[in-house]
Structures are given as C-alpha cells and as structure tokens.
Amino acid sequence: MNQKEFQQLKKDLEALFIRMQNFEKRSIDEQWFDSADIKIQFNFSESKLYRLRKANKIPHEKIGGRYYYPKGYFFSILLEKIKNKGKKI
C-alpha cells in the first residue's frame, strides 16, 4: 500500500467513525422507516427519495445496502404542516 492509498483509507475510516458517532447519538429506542415504508406512507417514488437523500434534505442512514429514516423526523414535519395549515400568511 502506497502513501496515497494509506491517506485515502485513513480519511475513509475517519469519516466512518464520525458517522458512527452521529448514529450513536440518536436515541436507541427511536423507530425507523425503511424506503418501502416511506414510499407507502408518503406516496414517494424511489427517485424522489434518492433526490432528497442526495440533497441531504431528509436524515437517513445506510445499513447493509438499505436506507433507513427516523420516524420522528417525518412525524415532526407532518405536525408542523398541520399547525401551519390553519394560519394565514
């Protein structure tokens, strides 16, 4: 392994470590949707989920090739929309 490959590996490991720390900070008891749940519950297409993930507009974690989304995030967004629906802007 040359120096350049070593530095890239080190950078990748540091990024993984940071992601794992952020993941651990979330509540262990928190429930998660998978992509199929999101598509059914909110009538999202696969391409819409992809665009939202790519733009970092929704929190997500990739585990074993599957994406997971915290349920609490979607419920908080829905509650906010319901609260704001009655307000005149």
Ordered DSSP codes for 1-55 = --HHHHHHHHHHHHHHHHHHHHHHHS-TT--EEEHHHHHHHH---HHHHHHHHHT
pLDDT tens digit sequence for 74-84: 888 887 877 77
Specify the 3-state DSSP secondary structure of 56.
Answer: coil
Q: Which residue has the tokens 């059914």?
A: 40
pLDDT tens digit sequence for 3-30: 988 899 889 888 887 777 666 555 555 7
pLDDT tens digit sequence for 24-39: 555 555 788 999 999 9
Total-model pTM: 0.59
Of residues 87, 70, 76, the one with CA closest to residue 29: 70
Average pLDDT of 53-79? Answer: 89
